[in-house]
A and B are shown apart, each in its own frame.
Chain A
Amino acid sequence: MEKTPSKPLLEVENLRVYFPVKGPLIERLFQRNKNFVHAVDGVSFALKPGEIFGLVGESGCGKTTTGRAVLRLLDPTSGSIKFEGINITRLKEERLRLLRTRMQIIFQDPHASLNPAMSIGRAIGHPLKIHGLAWREEDVKKEVLAAMREVGLTPEEQLYDMYPSDVSGGQKQRAVIARAMILKPQLIVADEPVAMLDMSIRAKVLGLMLELKKKYNLTYLFITHDLATAKFLCDRIAIMYLGRIVETGLANEIYTDPKHPYTRALLQAIPIPDPRKRSPKVLPKGEVPDAVYPPMGCRFHPRCPAVLPTCGWEGRDFVDYLEERRTDLEKAKVDEINLGPLELWRARGLAVERPCEPEKIRAITEYVKSILNEAPTPLAQAVERVKNVENKLVIEFRVPDPLAPKEVERRLVECLLY
């Protein structure tokens, strides 16, 4: 196929992958609105031929799901994926198989990616047979031995007949790389290829990947949680958080001057192996929320150290604030007396409400207003009104400002600060 070098090898646009939540059967039968894990929720990026593009994020951010959807190992819910200009989003399996020789994947766990009952040599040669590229045993073996030499699995004649359990983790990962390489692919999705290897071996495997890349002008989609490895290896990087890309740009620019508060937090959190560089950190609070109910507005807003009143404050943020107050035993005592259990509160989108007996409603409203004064300023300022409706106390938050990826100094950032 003819193609100009500037054309992207892979183009992902507005990719969404939702997984249905598997609850108990009864719930599934009677629930009208099905719940979904919003694993990937509107992700766009493009890979130029020959570049290493890093998808970086914590567990549950959707990076692995994105990698699998790109190869159609998972069916996307919506959006489009183009490989060498061909839209493969809904391509049928038979036609997809032809393309699969050109896009391969390396998984995180080399122990799980090799069949324990298949010798190393047969495993590496297996794709040739599946795709009908070589049939005669001696042809397959010749290619396999060459691939083994290429990835440093030597002495190759000896290792050919060994089983995965006979070799080390590093050797297994080399075998997995050889198996991916034997089809001479253009694109390799590498999903945490060194995360399970010991430090002293990691460098070797990464070095091998770089060598192969240079030799065959491969394109890598490198998926990792490890920012240091991504920085070393990647040309460009996309930082993912809870199903969205929050920042995309050149690796060294992102590392020297991160724009998104989440990127900043991630970089600051990495432990530095130099005791002279110890310094206090400003860390985001809490943990990554549930992807079944992602936060409104910017998904990072409940944890963001730089959050604004317009970032997406909603009803349940108030309940979270009440809960956080209960980690302070003094406040917990007073709150318990004045407000009772947290379970009384019901969050509904932008609003949160609780029933109140008519004779208490004024006192409770006053108390809620007083603790809102003690709340973090952005949350307090996002409250539009506190009102009483039919024996209920209702707090309403303002509608968040619209959020979209924006170009900031040669990169894309999805944040209202810019």
Chain B
Amino acid sequence: MADGESIGIVGETGSGKSTLGKAVLEILPPRTKVSGHIFFHGKELSHLDRERIRHIRGEEIALIFQDPMTRLNPLMTIENHFVETIREHQRVSRQEALARAETALASMRVPKSRIQNYPHEFSGGMRQRIMIALALVLNPSLLVADEPTTSLDVIVEAQILEILEDLKRTYKMSLLLITHNLGIVAEVCDRVAVFYAGKIVEIGSVDDIFNRPIHPYTRLLLQSIIHLSTKELHSIDGVPPDLVSPPSGCRFHPRCPYAQPVCREKIPPLEQFRPDQLAACHFGKDFL
């Protein structure tokens, strides 16, 4: 992921997309078995001690969730949320912290007059904007957004997406947007990674993925979306696999209409098929 880039992580329920987001922030439940590496600005995150991670989290990598109430404390005013967050990371006076809070809230169009209110006194969309303001008040260089608009109605969703795009432009912030909604990815992201059963099956520019998909799962998933110009319904046979014992070889093979014996036997590597497009399919070049 480059500086200022936004990547969409799409997949169905249980595909592992949220787990990826949590891994980046090192907030997976204790005793989770983790392997592999995550580098952030060249530093490997798992090598850092807890204190350092805590510092990076919030200040350099911020997270927003689907439900703002998982981030906002119902017993704390909005003002105190900001003052606490800012002073946890930086040695500034309360006055200075407050001034920054006001600016952050104003940029999210939350009226200054409501800074003394409690989270429950705000509407759903306003709470989401407060959470974004809180995530951004320390100027992180990466924002991980896990289904940030899923519980919102379509108009408020569009308002929030507009805000995210503005932020990307103004602050050159990178965005890792985790969602099941392909429409949102097409509108907001530069690149997209398609998850299936815990693996990336395809990754590439939004233009390539949406207009020239390679992996059969990506192709079928795109066909199954019902949008305003849908004339015919398409679906994918079968159900996503149980990840306790995932299928051998390509994990999509039991549902894939093009599956061959090799798909059951060998795990396909993520291979490059176009300058900015990789797919994990044994027959990728047949789908070019």
A contact set with B: CB distance below 8 Å: 58-59, 168, 170, 198-204, 206-207, 225-229, 231-232, 255, 265-278, 281, 283-288, 323-324, 326-329, 332, 341-342
Contact = CB atoms under 8 A, between A and B. Distances in A.
Contacts of A274: 186, 210-211
B239 interface: yes
Nearest to B181: A271
Interface of B: 12-13, 102-103, 105-106, 109-114, 123-126, 153-159, 161-162, 180-187, 206-207, 210-211, 220-222, 224-228, 230, 233-236, 239-240
B206 A288 contact: no
A200 B228 CA distance: 17
Given A232-B226, A288-B153, A199 B180 contact: yes
A228 B211 contact: no
Nearest to B207: A275
9 contacts: A201-B235, A265-B155, A273-B182, A273-B186, A281-B158, A287-B156, A324-B111, A326-B112, A332-B113
Contact of A329 (B102, B154, B180, B234): B102
A395 B154 CA distance: 35
Query: Chain B: interface secondary structure?
Result: helix
B162 A283 contact: yes
Contact of B226 (A202, A255, A267, A326): A202
B181 A329 contact: no
B113 A271 contact: no
Nearest to B233: A203
Given A200-B224, A271-B184, A228 B156 contact: no
A228 B226 contact: yes
A287 to B, nearest CB: 5
A239 B142 CA distance: 39
Contacts of B114: 323
A328 B230 contact: no
A275 B157 contact: no
Main SS at interface, chain A: helix
Contact of B186 (A271, A284, A329): A271
B183 A271 contact: yes
Given A271-B187, A272-B183, A266 B154 contact: yes
B227 A273 contact: yes
B83 to A, nearest CB: 18
Contacts of B123: 287
A287 B160 CA distance: 12
Given A200-B224, A272-B228, A283 B158 contact: yes
Contacts, number: 145
Contact of B239 (A201, A232, A278, A326): A201
B191 to A, nearest CB: 11
B40 to A, nearest CB: 27
Q: What 6 A-B pairs are tightest by C-beta distance, nearest first?
A: A271-B183, A203-B235, A58-B153, A200-B236, A269-B158, A326-B111
Contact of A198 (B126, B158, B182, B240): B240
Contacts of B240: 198
Given A198-B180, A231-B228, 12 more contacts: A59-B153, A199-B12, A201-B236, A207-B233, A266-B155, A273-B183, A273-B227, A274-B211, A275-B206, A275-B207, A283-B162, A327-B111
Contact of B155 (A170, A203, A272, A284): A284
Contacts of A226: 226
Contact of A58 (B154, B222, B227, B230): B154
Contact of B12 (A58, A198, A232, A332): A198
A203 B228 contact: no
A232 B105 CA distance: 40
A383 B224 CA distance: 51
B207 to A, nearest CB: 5
A284 B156 CA distance: 9
Nearest to B99: A329
B235 A207 contact: yes
A200 B235 contact: yes
B203 to A, nearest CB: 15
Contact of B113 (A232, A255, A323): A323
Contacts of B221: 199-200
Contact of A323 (B12, B103, B111): B111
Contacts of A329: 102-103, 106, 112
Contact of B228 (A255, A278, A341): A255
Contacts of B111: 323-324, 326-327, 332
Nearest to A200: B236
A59 B157 CA distance: 13
Contacts of A269: 154-155, 157-158
Contact of A228 (B161, B185, B230): B230
A203 B224 contact: yes
Contacts of A341: 113
Most buried by B among A198, A200, A266, A327: A200
Contacts of A58: 153-155
Contacts of A228: 226-228, 230
